[in-house]
């Protein structure tokens, strides 16, 4: 059953060659969201995978983490909190920086969105290098939250992201993976 969901999800994800730059094979999850049954199966599977971890809130990373995180939160009967790029949230925020190929970037969350001791499930569409996800974990932990897991639609195991999160002590799960030959 679980394997069938992963295969179905993978079949709905488009590979776009040379986007956003030549040599990159972009994994476009929008084909999955366009298929109502596939989208439902994906969000159901993510929710069920982490139900026993008893998250109290689901955090989604901008932008596609919102698409998958909000329905996962709804299925779990929990609230949803957004991690956004710097400067996108009103009011007082907390932030964490992360490295880019040439420089740094920052993600932010509204202050008080995560209370100390809150059990948090992190959701995003794809884990690649892990920079944004690691920054989100640091941000959640910096607010006193406890990350009970990180769920993704796609893992790119040729890149260090999932391993990076595991080194931080985070349980990582992805519905499907794309290797170099996929």
Count of CB atoms situated within 10 Å of the CB of 123 = 32
Sequence-ordered alpha helix ranges (H) in the chain: 2-12, 30-33, 36-50, 64-76, 131-142, 161-167
- CA 30 vs. chain centroid, Å, equals 15
Of 133, 108, 111, 109, nearest to 123 by C-alpha is 133
Catalytic residue, from 8, 49, 64, 84: name it.
64
Strands 25-28 and 57-61 come out as unpaired
Query: Phi-psi bin for 146: left (phi > 0), alpha (psi -120 to 50), beta?
Result: beta
Catalytic residue flag (residue 101): yes
Choose, from 3, 52, 92, 101, the residue flagged as catalytic: 101
Can you tell me which residue has the tokens 């009970």? 148
Cβ contacts of 111 within 8 Å, gap of 6 or more: 91, 92, 93, 94, 143
Q: Which residues are catalytic, by number?
A: 64, 101
């Amino acid at each position: 059953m679980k394997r069938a969901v992963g295969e179905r999800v993978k079949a709905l994800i488009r590979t776009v060659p040379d986007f956003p730059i030549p040599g990159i094979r972009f994994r476009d999850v929008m084909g999955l969201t366009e298929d109502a049954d596939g989208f439902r199966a994906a969000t159901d599977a993510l929710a069920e995978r982490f139900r026993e971890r008893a998250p109290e809130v689901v955090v989604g990373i901008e932008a596609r983490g919102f698409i998958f995180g909000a329905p996962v939160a709804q299925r779990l009967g929990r609230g949803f909190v957004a991690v956004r790029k710097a400067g996108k949230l009103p009011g007082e925020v907390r932030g964490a920086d992360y490295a880019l190929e040439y420089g740094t970037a920052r993600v932010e969350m509204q202050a008080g969105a995560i209370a100390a001791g809150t059990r948090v499930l992190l959701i995003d569409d794809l884990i690649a290098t892990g920079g944004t996800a690691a920054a989100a974990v640091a941000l959640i932990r910096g607010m006193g939250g406890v990350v009970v897991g990180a769920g993704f639609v796609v893992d790119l195991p040729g890149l260090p992201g999932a391993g990076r999160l595991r080194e931080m002590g985070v349980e990582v799960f992805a519905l499907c993976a794309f290797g170099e030959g996929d």
